[in-house]
C-alpha cells in the first residue's frame, strides 16, 4: 500500500476551496486492526471529555420535573449557574467513568465499522462506496459500543443530576448495584440501541456523503473531516433527541417525575419511557435539551473524526516508514 500525494478536492458551492499551495496525502485504505482500535480509542476519549460539561448540562435540561434551582434556559446560562452555585468542578463530575468506558468502546466501534464497511461495500457495491453499507456497518458497530458504554452512561448521568447523592464513581456503582441489582446498568440498553442505531446510521451516512462531496479523493484533509463530522453529528443528534430523552429518564429514574404519574418502583422499557415522557411533557417533552444535544454533538463528532482520521493516517504512515528499506 502506498500513501500517494493528491490534489485538493473541489469545494462545494459556498465553501472556500483549499489554497493552491495546500495538498494532502491520501488516507490509508488498508490500515491494520490495531491502528483502527488505537485511533478509535483516542478519538473516543477526546470526543467525550472535551465537551463533557455541555453533556452534563444536556442531562439536566432533559429532566422532566427539575428542581426549581436546576431550571435552565440556555447552555451558557446553565454552565454559569452550576459553577456559581455548585462549584467550578461540578460540571465534570463523572468524567472519569466516561473515560474508562469511552476508550475500549470506541476502539471496538471504529474497528468494527471499518471492517464491516469494507466487507459490505464489496458485496453491495463491488468495492465502491455504498451508503447502505455505511449505515449497516455503523449500526452493527453500535451493538459493541453500547454494550461497553451503557453501564458507564448510567453512572455518569446519575452523577450529573442536580443534588446527586453520589460523591464518587465507586460509591454510585455500589449503591446502584446494592439497591437495584446488576440489571440497573443495562435497563436502558434497548432504548440506547434504539436511539444509537438510527443515530449512527444517520451519522455515518451523512459523514461519508459529505466526504464524497468535499473530499472525493479521500485525502487526509483535516478541514473536510471536521466539517463533515460536525454536520453529521448535528443532523443525527437532532433527529434522535426524543429517544435520548427516554434514555435519560430510564438511566436516572427521576423520582419526582415518576411519582407525579404514580409510578412506584423502577421504570423500565422503551414503550413505558415514551408513554411517561408524553404524560409529563407532551410532544415538546421529547425535545427537551435538543439545543444542548446539538451543541454537544457537533464539536464532539468533529473532534472524533478529525482525531480518528489523523491517528489512522499517522500510525499507518509510521508503520510503512519502518518497513521501508533505507
Q: How far is the first Cα of the chain from the last one, in angstroms, to the nearest whole number? A: 18
**Spans of the chain below 70 pLDDT:** 1-30, 127, 255-256, 261-262, 264-265, 324-326
Looking at residue 52, its pLDDT comes to 95
* pTM (2 d.p.): 0.73
Q: Helix 33-50 vs helix 290-323: angle between axes, to the nearest 10 degrees?
A: 150
Question: How far is it, in rounded angstroms, from Cα 189 to Cα 319?
Answer: 38
Contact, 35 vs 1, CB < 8 A? no
pLDDT number for residue 29 = 60
What sections of 95-188 are H helices per DSSP? 95-125, 131-160, 169-180
Check residue 182 and give its pLDDT.
93
What is the phi/psi pair of residue 219, to 5°?
-90, 165
Residue 322, judged by CB atoms within 10 A of its CB (0-12, 13-18, 19+), counts as: exposed
pLDDT of residue 12: 42
Cell of 246: 427516554
Q: Chain-centre distance of CA 75, in angstroms?
A: 18
Let me know: does 58 contact 296? Beta carbons within 8 Å: yes
Contacts of 295 (CB under 8 A, 6+ apart): 54, 75
Amino acid at each position: 500500500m502506498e500513501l500517494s500525494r493528491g490534489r485538493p478536492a473541489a469545494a462545494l458551492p459556498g465553501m472556500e476551496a483549499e489554497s493552491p499551495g495546500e495538498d494532502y496525502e491520501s488516507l490509508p485504505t488498508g490500515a491494520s486492526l490495531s491502528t483502527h482500535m488505537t485511533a478509535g480509542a483516542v478519538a473516543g476519549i477526546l470526543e467525550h471529555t472535551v465537551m463533557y460539561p455541555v453533556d452534563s448540562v444536556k442531562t439536566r435540561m432533559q429532566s422532566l420535573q427539575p428542581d426549581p434551582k436546576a431550571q435552565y434556559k440556555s447552555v451558557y446560562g446553565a454552565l454559569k449557574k452550576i459553577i456559581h452555585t455548585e462549584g467550578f468542578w461540578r460540571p465534570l463530575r463523572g468524567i472519569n467513568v466516561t473515560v474508562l468506558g469511552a476508550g475500549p468502546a470506541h476502539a471496538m466501534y471504529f474497528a468494527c465499522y471499518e471492517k464491516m464497511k469494507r466487507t459490505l461495500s464489496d458485496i453491495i457495491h463491488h468495492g465502491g462506496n455504498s451508503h447502505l453499507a455505511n449505515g449497516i456497518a455503523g449500526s452493527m458497530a453500535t451493538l459493541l459500543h453500547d454494550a461497553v458504554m451503557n453501564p458507564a452512561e448510567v453512572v455518569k448521568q446519575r452523577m450529573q443530576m442536580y443534588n446527586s447523592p453520589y460523591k464518587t464513581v465507586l460509591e454510585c456503582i455500589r449503591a446502584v448495584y446494592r439497591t437495584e441489582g446488576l440489571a440497573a446498568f443495562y435497563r436502558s440498553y434497548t432504548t440506547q440501541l434504539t436511539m444509537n442505531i438510527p443515530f449512527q446510521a444517520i451519522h455515518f451516512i451523512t459523514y461519508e456523503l459529505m466526504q464524497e462531496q468535499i473530499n472525493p479523493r479521500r485525502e487526509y484533509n483535516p478541514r473536510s473531516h471536521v466539517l463533515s463530522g460536525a454536520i453529521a453529528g448535528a443532523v443525527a443528534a437532532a433527529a434522535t433527541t426524543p429517544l435520548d430523552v427516554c434514555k435519560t429518564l430510564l438511566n436516572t429514574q427521576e423520582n419526582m417525575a415518576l411519582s407525579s404519574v404514580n409510578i412506584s418502583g423502577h421504570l423500565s422499557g422503551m414503550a413505558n419511557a415514551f408513554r411517561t415522557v408524553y404524560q409529563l411533557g407532551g410532544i415538546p417533552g421529547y425535545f427537551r435539551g435538543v439545543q444542548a444535544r446539538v451543541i454537544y454533538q457537533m464539536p464532539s463528532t468533529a473532534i472524533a473524526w478529525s482525531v480518528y482520521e489523523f491517528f489512522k493516517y499517522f500510525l499507518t504512515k509510521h508503520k510503512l516508514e519502518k518497513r521501508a528499506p533505507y
